Structure 1
Amino acid sequence: MGGKCLAAVDIGGTTIKMAFLTVEGDIIRKWAIPTDQADGGTNIVSDIVRSFSNELKQDGLTNVDVIAVGVGAPGPADPIKGTISGAVNLGWVNNYPLKRLLEEALKLPVFIENDANCAALGEMWRGAGNGTGDLVCITIGTGVGGGIVSKGMIFTGVSGSAGEIGHITVVPENGILCNCGKHGCLETVASATGIVNLYKEEGKEAPDARAVFLQASKGDEAAKRVIDRCAYYLGLAIGNIANTMNPAKIVVGGGVSEAGDALLLPLEQYVRQYTFPRAMEVLSIEKATLGNDAGVIGAAYLAKVKTVS
C-alpha cells in the first residue's frame, strides 16, 4: 500500500461499503459486504471487523498501517459520545455505542458521523464541492438526506440532527404521512417514493421514480406535472436553506438526481424564485460527482481532520 492510510466505512441498509484511502483522499482499494440486519443489527460490528482484518491480511498489513477509521452510519450521530440513535432499519434505536465497540475490536481511533453528513464531506473534499468549505449536500433516493458543511466542518446542531432536510415541512396542510410521524415532509413528495406518491395522486401507477421520468420523456402530461411539483418542493426547501445558511454550493446527489436536466433545470428556477437575491448571487447548484464513493471519502476526511496535523 505504501505509507500509512486511512480506513473508511459507510454503513447502509443493504450493504456496508469499506475502503482504504490515502491522506489525500484517493481510494486505494474498496469493497462491500452485505448488511446483516438480523438480531437488531448486533452482527454488524463483528462483520465489519472481520472484513477489515481480512483485507489488511490480504495486503500483508496490520492495523499499525492504518492512521484511523472514519465511519458513516444512518441515524442521528453523537460524534463526541460515539453513539448512533434512530437507525431503525438496523435496530440501533437509542445510543448504540458504535465508536466504542469498533475501537475495542480494531484497536484504532474511530470517528463516527451520520452517513449523509459523510457524503457531504466527501463531495466537499473531492467532489462537486471543489474544495469550498460552505455547502449543503442533498441526497435524493428512497428518502431525502442532507448534510450541511460550514467552514469545512459538518454543522451538527445540538443533538446531531441538523441537516434533516428530508423532514422540512413543504406541504403544511393535508400532507402525506412520513415515516418520521409528521405529515407533509419533503421526503414524502421529492424522494423516489414521493415521486411515485405524486404520480398516484394523478390517478396513475408507476413501479418507481425512473418509470415516471421515462413517461415524462415520452410526453405524459401527468408525469411532467409530477416532476414539476417535485422540483417545486425541492426548490422551496433549498431556497429556505440557502436563505438560512448562505452556502456557496448546493450539491444534489442520489438516484433521483440521475434524471439530470429533467429535474435540475426546473429545480434551479424554483430555487431562484425562493432564494434571497444576495444569497442567490453566490450560489450554484451542482450535481454530485462521487456517486457511491461519497460516503467512504467523507468518512476518511472525518478521520483525517481528527488525526492528521
Structure 2
Amino acid sequence: MDNRKLIGVDLGGTTIKFGILTIEGEIQQKWSVRTNVLDEGSHIVPDIVHSINHHLDLYKMNRSQFVGIGMGTPGTVDRDKGTVVGAYNLNWKQTQPVKQQIEDGTGMPFALDNDANCAGLGERWKGAGNDGDDVVFITLGTGVGGGIIANHKLIHGVNGAGGEIGHIIVEPNGYQCTCGNHGCLEQYASATGVVHLAQDLAEEYEGSSRLKAMIDNGDEITSKIVFDLAKEDDYLANRVVDRVCYYLGLAVANISNTLNPEFAVIGGGVSAAGDFLLERVQKNFERFAFPTVRTSTRLKLAELGNDAGIIGAASLALQFKDKE
C-alpha cells in the first residue's frame, strides 16, 4: 500500500488554500494564507513555497513522503511549460514560470491547471461526480467557469480554452461580456449577472415588489438577496430567477447534447440556492435536451464546497505516481 501524500494548492485572488491529502483523496491537513498581489504579484510564488516548506517542518514530514504538488490557478495555463499568464486578479500581467520556481523551492514535482478545471476534477473524484468517466462541472461565482471531463480526462482543447462554459452564447445580441462577445452565459448566471438582470427587469416592472423597492431605493443587491426574496414569493425576484434558470438550463442542455455526460454538476456561490435553483434548471434542461440525453444525464449540486479546488489540484500530482 502506498502511504505517500499529495499536496493540493488552490490559488485565488484573496486567499491561497493548501491541503495535504492521501493518495485516495482524503484531506488530512489544510491551511490558508492571504494572497499578496502587490509588486505585480511577485510575492505569490515565494509565499507558496515558504508556506509548504514551513508546514512540512511543522508536521515533521519530509519530501520523500510526497508524490508531488498540484495547483489550480486563475489565468491562462501552459501545462507543459508550467507557466501562467493573464491572471489579472493576481496582478500577473507577464508570464510566470510557476512550475520551475515551486519545484526549485520545494524539491517536489509540480503540476498546474486552471482553477475551474481543478474544481471540476475535485467534484468528479470525491464529490457529486461519483468518480465518473464523463462529468461536466459548472461553477457560478463572480463569473461562470467550468471543467469538462470526458473519458476520465480533462478537455483542454488545442489552446487551453476547452471548458469555457461561461462563454456559451445563450442570448444572441444580449449583454456585452468582458470577452468582447454578446450574450454569454456568464452575463446572466454569474452573481453579477443575476444582479444585472434584476436591475433591468425592475426598470420595466410596475407592480409591487420588495426587490423593486430595494433597487429603486439604491440599496445594494446581491444574487443571494434575489434568490432569498424569490423563495419568499417576491414576484419580480421570481421572474429574475426564472430567467437565470432558463439560461442555465439551455446551456447545460447544449453541453449535454454534445457530450452526454453522466453528471452535470452545478457549484459555486450562486448554487447555494440549492434545490430551489436546481429544480428550475432541471425543467429547462428537460425542455432543451435531446431525448436520450434527457434520460441519461443527471443534474446535481456540487458537494465539496471550498474543498473542491484543493482536492482537484492534488489529483494533478497523481500523474507523477503513474510515471514511476
Q: Judge same fold: TM > 0.5, yes or no.
A: yes
Question: Could you tell me how far 1:259 is from its partner in structure 2?
Answer: 0.3
Rounded Cα–Cα distance in structure 2 between residues aligned with 1:234 and 1:105:
43
State the match for 2:296 in structure 1. Answer: 282
Rounded Cα–Cα distance in structure 1 between residues aligned with 2:285 and 2:182:
23
Question: Could you tell me how far 1:129 is from its partner in structure 2?
Answer: 0.6
Rounded Cα–Cα distance in structure 2 between residues aligned with 1:44 and 1:11:
9
Rounded Cα–Cα distance in structure 2 between residues aligned with 1:280 and 1:96:
43
State the match for 1:41 in structure 2. Answer: 41
Identity %: 47
- Structure 1 residues 249-278: Cα deviation after superposition (integer angstroms, max 9, x where no partner): 100111111101221111001111111111
Question: Could you tell me how far 1:113 is from its partner in structure 2?
Answer: 0.5
Rounded Cα–Cα distance in structure 2 between residues aligned with 1:139 and 1:62:
35
- Report matched runs for 1:219-298 at 5 Å: 219-298=233-312
State the match for 1:305 in structure 2. Answer: 319
State the match for 1:55 in structure 2. Answer: 55
Rounded Cα–Cα distance in structure 2 between residues aligned with 1:93 and 1:256:
29
State the match for 2:92 in structure 1. Answer: 92
Considering only aligned residues, what root-mean-square deviation do their CA atoms show, in Å? 1.4
State the match for 2:205 in structure 1. Answer: none
Question: Could you tell me how far 1:94 is from its partner in structure 2?
Answer: 4.9
1:82 matches 2:82: yes
1:17 matches 2:17: yes
State the match for 2:199 in structure 1. Answer: 200
State the match for 2:230 in structure 1. Answer: 216
Rounded Cα–Cα distance in structure 1 between residues aligned with 2:238 and 2:40:
41
Question: Could you tell me how far 1:67 is from its partner in structure 2?
Answer: 1.4
State the match for 2:8 in structure 1. Answer: 8
Amino acid at match of 2:234: D
Question: Could you tell me how far 1:207 is from its partner in structure 2?
Answer: 2.1
Rounded Cα–Cα distance in structure 1 between residues aligned with 2:169 and 2:235:
26
Counting matched residue pairs gives 307
- Structure 1 residues 58-114: Cα deviation after superposition (integer angstroms, max 9, x where no partner): 111222222100010012322112122221111224542211221121111000010
Question: Could you tell me how far 1:42 is from its partner in structure 2?
Answer: 1.0
Rounded Cα–Cα distance in structure 1 between residues aligned with 2:70 and 2:122:
12
Amino acid at match of 2:180: G
Q: Secondary structure at the match of 1:183?
A: coil
Q: Specify every segment of 5 or more residues in structure 2 that has no aligned partner in the other structure, as ranges.
A: 203-211
- Larger mean CA deviation between 14-23 and 101-110 belongs to 101-110
Rounded Cα–Cα distance in structure 2 between residues aligned with 1:45 and 1:158:
27
Question: Could you tell me how far 1:185 is from its partner in structure 2?
Answer: 1.3
Q: Specify every segment of 5 or more residues in structure 1 that has no aligned partner in the other structure, as ranges.
A: none
Q: Is the 8 A contact 1:9 1:69 kept in 2?
A: yes
State the match for 1:72 in structure 2. Answer: 72
Q: Secondary structure at the match of 2:245?
A: helix
Rounded Cα–Cα distance in structure 2 between residues aligned with 1:131 and 1:245:
17
Question: Could you tell me how far 1:201 is from its partner in structure 2?
Answer: 0.5
Q: Is the 8 A contact 1:121 1:153 kept in 2?
A: no
| Larger-Rg structure | 2
Question: Could you tell me how far 1:303 is from its partner in structure 2?
Answer: 0.7
Q: Secondary structure at the match of 2:317?
A: helix
1:113 matches 2:113: yes
Q: Secondary structure at the match of 2:176?
A: coil
Rounded Cα–Cα distance in structure 2 between residues aligned with 1:40 and 1:236:
39
- Report matched runs for 1:157-176 at 5 Å: 157-173=157-173, 175-176=174-175
Rounded Cα–Cα distance in structure 1 between residues aligned with 2:128 and 2:199:
34
- Structure 1 residues 174-218: Cα deviation after superposition (integer angstroms, max 9, x where no partner): x22222232221111101111111110022325211111111122
Amino acid at match of 2:82: G
Rounded Cα–Cα distance in structure 2 between residues aligned with 1:95 and 1:270:
41
Rounded Cα–Cα distance in structure 1 between residues aligned with 2:81 and 2:297:
35
Q: Is the 8 A contact 2:67 2:320 kept in 1?
A: no
Amino acid at match of 1:196: V
Rounded Cα–Cα distance in structure 1 between residues aligned with 2:159 and 2:105:
27
Rounded Cα–Cα distance in structure 2 between residues aligned with 1:255 and 1:191:
9
Rounded Cα–Cα distance in structure 2 between residues aligned with 1:183 and 1:39:
34
1:139 matches 2:128: no
**Structure 1 runs, 4 residues or longer, greater than 4 Å off:** none
Rounded Cα–Cα distance in structure 2 between residues aligned with 1:93 and 1:249:
36
